[in-house]
Structure 1
Amino acid sequence: MAFFCSIFFSFVFDALDGWCARKFNQVSTFGSVLDKVVDRISTGCLLVILSKYTGKVSHKDVKDSSNWLFKAYYGNRMFMAYCCVAVEVLYIVLFLLAENQTESLMDVLMRTAKQSLLISSILALSFFGCAIKQIVNVIQMKTAADLCVLYDIDKKQKP
């Protein structure tokens, strides 16, 4: 239970930190990048800890998973690499295309769609890979939560 509460509060405080930064105009490029890096490190640490609960060597061990997307993602290194690179390419291309910091995502996408088929295609492919990666992240978190529950049930049943 302490583990679950720690993770929950970590997400809450991460969201609160971002909200406060925007509310009090304390936003910086460094802070934005640092937030993403810390999020990735936290997720990695969480996955390592949860994989130890199940006795697996890695969170990428999916041979007993029933989810086809999870198996496709971790079972094919090229597909996984495409999804990981797509996230970064999407961030970089959108950053380079934005004319200013206040331009909305939809404005950037609409302007780009009218100007360049090549860049629009790169964005579409990047968005697809990014979406797959985010779906896999949700599947991992759901699977990890289920495993934690099963671990706690098993622990309580043992005398």
Structure 2
Amino acid sequence: MPPVYLYIPNIIGYFRIIINFIAFAVCYSNKALFAILYFISFVLDGVDGWFARKFNQASTFGAVLDMVTDRVSTACLLALLSQFYRPGLVFLILLGLDITSHWFQMYSSFLSGKTSHKDVKHTGNWLLKLYYGYRPFMAFCCVSCEVLYIILFLFADDKSTSLLSVCGGILNQSPLIVLMFVSTLIGWAVKQVTNIIQMKTAANACVVYDLKRSK
């Protein structure tokens, strides 16, 4: 087995997959345990990156493993939420946007010869540069997004319920929960805007590549 499979960040990636399997296996029977396991997996997403930089163990395989794990786990959670809430289509649209945006970005980066999909220094959009260039901002948006989905999952009833009703109910909770909810909502909104910009920018890059190739 090539050593790259045994890089520390990649081993953490395998561990994240196992945690996610367990989390979704108990998501209906134990919501609290699901939330804890899912969040641990999400935190490890940042830990593996730190190990990759610390021990110079960044790899293409690791980057793909990391992105696939991120996208699949988020997609599964959004699919769950679409079953709990009305209209469920909202979460399916978010799922499609998340996957499409990152796939376009990954593929356009490959066409451009970049080593990472996070290399956006040549793009003209300031928000995209801020998102990928300033780690605390990116972390805020990503954490907000995942925590918001976890909050919605924990507050969901067993039966399909109105998304607006649940959001209104959350706003009637304790000030701490309200503050957390509003903060995550802001970060979530910024991330969705970033996803849309990323998708459009990456799509433009693919078109430019086609035009250059046709000449």
TM-score by length of 2: 0.52
Q: Does the CA contact (< 8 Å) of 2:142 and 2:187 recur in 1?
A: yes
Deviation, 1:100, is: 3.8
Q: For 1:17-36, what aligned pairs fall within 5 Å after superposition?
A: 33=76
Deviation, 1:58, is: 1.4
For 1:142, the equivalent position in structure 2 comes to 200
Pick from 117, 120, 134 the counterpart of residue 59 of structure 1: 117
What CA deviation, in whole Å up to 9, does each residue of 1:69-105 have, x standing for no partner? Answer: 1111111111111111111100111111234432211
Q: Which runs of 5+ in 1 are unaligned?
A: 1-27
User: Is residue 177 of structure 2 the alignment partner of residue 119 of structure 1?
Assistant: yes
CA RMSD of aligned residues (A): 2.6
User: Is residue 133 of structure 2 the alignment partner of residue 75 of structure 1?
Assistant: yes
* More displaced stretch, 65-74 vs 44-53: 44-53
User: Is residue 133 of structure 2 the alignment partner of residue 90 of structure 1?
Assistant: no
Deviation, 1:35, is: 7.0
Change (3 A) 1:97 1:34: closer
- One-letter amino acid of the structure 1 residue matched with residue 144 of structure 2: A
Sequence identity percentage: 45
- One-letter amino acid of the structure 2 residue matched with residue 145 of structure 1: A
Between the aligned partners of 1:42 and 1:105, the Cα distance in structure 2 is 24
What CA deviation, in whole Å up to 9, does each residue of 1:11-38 have, x standing for no partner? Answer: xxxxxxxxxxxxxxxxx97xx72776x9
What CA deviation, in whole Å up to 9, does each residue of 1:29-83 have, x standing for no partner? Answer: 7xx72776x9667765543322111122212112112111111111111111111
- One-letter amino acid of the structure 1 residue matched with residue 208 of structure 2: L
User: Is residue 214 of structure 2 the alignment partner of residue 156 of structure 1?
Assistant: yes
What CA deviation, in whole Å up to 9, does each residue of 1:107-154 have, x standing for no partner? Answer: 112122223221111111111111111111111110111111111111
Q: Does the CA contact (< 8 Å) of 2:100 and 2:199 recur in 1?
A: no
Pick from 14, 27, 47 the counterpart of residue 105 of structure 2: 47
Between the aligned partners of 1:86 and 1:98, the Cα distance in structure 2 is 18
